[in-house]
Amino acid sequence: MAPANGGGDLSVEPAFVGAGCNRIVNNVSWGPSGLVAFGAQNAVAIFCPQSAQILTTLPGHKAVVNCTQWVLTNKDVHKVGQKELHYLLSGSADGVIMAWEIRPSQRIWRFALQFPGMHKKGVTCLTSVMISATVAICASTSSDGIVHIWKITFPSTDNGNCQISCLDSLSVGSKPMVALSLTMVPGENCGLLLAMGSLDQKIHVYYGDLIGKFSRVCELKDHSDWIRSLDFSQPVMLEGKHNLLLVSSSQDKTIRIWKLASSPASELKKDDIGLTAYIEGPVFVVGSTRYQVSLESLLIGHEDWVYSVEWQPPILIGSNLNQPMSILSASMDKTMMIWRPERNTGIWMNVVTVGELSHSALGFYGGHWAPDGKSILAHGYGGSFHLWRDVGFGSENWQPQRVPLGHFASVFDLAWSQSGDYLLTVSHDQTTRIFAPWKNVKASDNRAMWHEIARPQVHGHDINCVCIIQGSGNHRFVSGADEKVARVFEAPLSFLKTLNYTWAREQGNFDTLDKEVQILGANMSALGLSQKPIYLNSARESPTGTTNDAMDSLETIPDAVPTVFTEPPVEDQLAWHTLWPESHKLYGHGNELFSLCCNHAGTLVASSCKAQSANVAEIWLWEVGSWKSVGRLQSHTLTVTQIEFSHDDTLLLTVSRDRQLSVFSLTKTSDGVDHKLIDKHEAHKRIIWACSWNPVKHEFATGSRDKTVKIWSVNKDSSSVNLLSTLPQFRDSVTALAWRACNQSRNTGLLAVGMDNGFIEIWGIASGNLEASAFSATCAIRLDPFLCHVSTVYRLRWKEVNDSESGVLKLASCGADHSVRVFDVHGK
133 Cβ neighbours under 8 A, 6+ residues apart:
79, 80
Provide the pLDDT for residue 573: 86
Q: Which residue has the higher pLDDT, 76 or 618?
A: 618
User: CA-based angle 180:194:84, to the nearest 5?
Assistant: 75
pLDDT at 269 over 60: no
pLDDT top residue among 556 and 1: 556
791 or 210, higher pLDDT: 791
Q: Are 429 and 408 in contact (CB under 8 A)?
A: yes
* Signed CA dihedral, 227, 233, 237, 241: sign only: positive
d(CA 612, CA 626): 30
Contact criterion met (CB below 8 Å) for 424 and 414: yes
* Between 553 and 188, the higher pLDDT residue: 188
List pLDDT tens digits, range 378-395.
Answer: 999 889 999 999 998 878
Say what the pLDDT of residue 317 is: 77
What is the rounded (10 degree) CA torsion for 697, 698, 699, 703? 110
d(CA 275, CA 24): 42
Tell me what percent of the residues of the chain surpass a pLDDT of 70: 88
Per the DSSP assignment, residues forming a β-bridge with 328 are 310, 338
Sign of CA dihedral 287, 288, 293, 296: negative
pLDDT on residue 517: 66
- How far does CA 15 lie from the centroid of its chain? 16
Q: 656 or 132, which is more confident?
A: 656
Looking at every residue in the chain, the average pLDDT score rounds to: 86
684 Cβ partners below 8 Å, 6+ apart?
Answer: 659, 702, 704, 705, 706, 708, 710
pLDDT at residue 555, rounded to an integer: 41
Cβ pair 148, 118 in contact under 8 A = yes
Q: What is the pLDDT of residue 548?
A: 43
∠ CA 24-26-32, nearest 5°, is 135
Cβ contact 407:431 at 8 Å: yes
Biggest distance spanned by C-alpha atoms of the chain: 102
pLDDT for the residue numbered 490: 92
**DSSP readout, 458-498?**
E-SS-EEEEEE--SSSS-EEEEEESSSEEEEEE--HHHHHH
Long-range contacts of 647-651 (CB under 8 A, 24+ apart): 647/600, 647/693, 647/694, 647/695, 647/696, 647/697, 648/600, 649/599, 649/600, 649/601, 649/603, 649/604, 650/718, 651/678, 651/698, 651/714, 651/718
Share of the chain above pLDDT 90, in %: 60
How far apart CA 452 and CA 454 sit, in angstroms, is 6
Gap between the Cα atoms of 643 and 652, Å rounded: 7
Three-class HEC string of 76-89: CHHHHCCCCCEEEE
At residue 227, the pLDDT reads 94
Alpha helices in 377-440 (DSSP H): none
pLDDT bracket for residue 804 (50, 70, 90):
very low
- The neighbour count for residue 754, using CB atoms within 10 Å, is 31
> Rounded distance, CA 112 to CA 120, Å?
22
pLDDT for 98: 95
3-state SS record for 162-222: CEEEEEEEEECCCCCEEEEEEEECCCCCCCEEEEEEECCCCEEEEEECCCCCEEEEEEECC
* CA distance linking residue 367 with residue 73, whole number of Å: 15
pLDDT-based confidence at residue 248 (cuts at 50, 70, 90): very high
Of residues 25, 502, 216, 501, the one with CA closest to residue 510? 501
Alpha-carbon gap, residue 429 to 431, rounded angstroms: 6
Three-state secondary structure along 281-343? Answer: CCEEEECCEEEEEEEEEEEECCCCCEEEEEECCCEEECCEEECCCCEEEEECCCEEEEEEECC
State pTM to two decimals: 0.90
Q: Which 3 state secondary structure label does DSSP give 349?
A: strand
- 243-247, 413-417, 660-664, 743-747: which range is least confident on average? 743-747
Choose between 49 and 525: higher pLDDT.
49
Give Cβ neighbours of residue 142 (< 8 Å, ≥ 6 apart). 95, 119, 120, 121, 122, 123, 124, 176
CB 300 within 8 A of CB 348: no
Query: Using CA atoms, how far apart are residues 432 and 415, in angstroms rounded to an integer?
Result: 11
pLDDT at 289: 81
As a whole number, mean pLDDT of residues 585-603 equals 94
502-516, 522-536, 611-625, 703-717, range with the lowest pLDDT: 502-516
Question: How far is 85 from 691, CA to CA, in rounded Å?
Answer: 44
- The mean pLDDT of 256-280, rounded to a whole number, is 68
Average pLDDT value for residue range 473-480:
92
Phi, psi of 296 (to 5 degrees): -80, -40
CA–CA separation, 332 vs 366, rounded Å?
Answer: 9
d(CA 18, CA 40): 10
pLDDT at 538 (0 to 100): 58
Tell whether the model's pLDDT for residue 268 goes beyond 70: no
Secondary element (H or E) of residue 111: strand 108-114
Cα separation, 718 vs 652, whole angstroms: 12
DSSP assignment string, 745-758 = TTTEEEEEEEETTS
In this structure, the number of other CB atoms found within 10 A of the CB of residue 546 comes to 6
pLDDT for position 133: 85
Helix (H) or strand (E) holding 575: helix 571-577
Q: Residue 507 — pLDDT band, cuts 50, 70, 90?
A: low
b/e map of 72-88 (b: 16 or more CB within 10 Å)? bbbbbbbeeeebebbbb
How far is Cα 55 from Cα 34, in angstroms, rounded to an integer? 13
In whole angstroms, what is the distance from residue 143 CA to residue 120 CA?
A: 8
What's the chain's Rg over C-alpha atoms?
A: 30
**Which range, of 202-206, 437-441, 736-740, averages the lowest pLDDT?**
437-441
Give residue 357's pLDDT.
59
Strands 699-704 and 241-250: unpaired
Phi and psi angles of residue 773, each rounded to the nearest 5 degrees, phi first: -70, -25
First to last CA, the chain: 9
pLDDT confidence of residue 551: 38
- Report the pLDDT value the prediction gives residue 45, as an integer from 0 to 100: 95
Q: What is the pLDDT of residue 562?
A: 80
Sign of CA dihedral 80, 82, 88, 89: positive
At 702, give phi and psi (nearest 5°): -130, 145
Phi and psi at residue 357, in whole multiples of 5°? Answer: -95, -10
**Per-residue confidence (pLDDT) for residue 502, from 0 to 100:** 84
pLDDT tier for residue 552 given thresholds of 50, 70 and 90 = very low
Per-residue pLDDT tens digits for 42-92: 999 999 999 999 999 999 999 999 999 999 999 888 877 667 889 999 999
How many C-beta atoms lie closer than 10 Å to residue 556's C-beta? Answer: 8
Number of neighbouring beta carbons within 10 Å of residue 516: 12
State pLDDT tens for residues 596-611.
999 999 999 999 999 9
Which tens digits make up the pLDDT trace of 81-122?
667 889 999 999 999 999 999 998 888 899 999 998 888 999
**What phi and psi, each to the nearest 5 degrees, are found at residue 415?**
-155, 140
Which 8-state DSSP code applies to residue 558? P
